[in-house]
Amino acid sequence: MRPKTPDHEKLDEGVRVRLTALEKRLLLKRCKKEGYLNLSDFCRAKLVKRREIKKVEASKEFVLLVRKLDYELNKIGVNLNQVSKRINSNHIYHLTAADREIFRQILRELRNCFSVLQHYLDKIEDGPSQT
């Protein structure tokens, strides 16, 4: 048999909250995503228990890298704006081989930026023990 629950741990009080059908579906989805067995456990954890706060500290290397990536992404955006202005300013404009090469170069740069950002995001999600 299951051991008797002490009086101070009995869940004999209730609270009623009204939700829309969409809100309830979203709560249930979050409940499953975060690994709770049922909606009551999820709500208790979110409403009563202390919130778990993750503090992420960025190294100087990371901050410098993000600033560099921001600068590079801004340059790419400027290039894209120049290309789109050139295309839109002429009623009939055909992409030249040089234009195609610029687009390929921009795509390579964007992929590099994404790769570096993904690397650091993976480090953040894995936590400080995985470096």
Return the pLDDT at 93. Answer: 65
Return the pLDDT at 131. Answer: 41
**pLDDT by residue (tens digit) across 23-51?**
999 999 998 988 888 998 888 888 887 66
* Residue ranges of the chain whose pLDDT lies below 50: 129-131
Give the integer Cα–Cα distance in Å for 120 and 124. 6
CB neighbours of residue 72 within 10 Å: 15
And the tokens for 90?
Answer: 């002429």
Domain ranges of the chain: 18-53, 60-126
The letter for the amino acid at 63 is V
Which residue do the tokens 């090469």 mark?
101
Return the pLDDT at 99. Answer: 80
- Which letter, b or e, does each residue of 82-97 get, where b requires 16 or more Cβ atoms within 10 Å of its Cβ? eeeeeeeeeeeeeeee
Return the pLDDT at 29. Answer: 93
Give the integer Cα–Cα distance in Å for 131 and 122. 10
Return the pLDDT at 61. Answer: 86
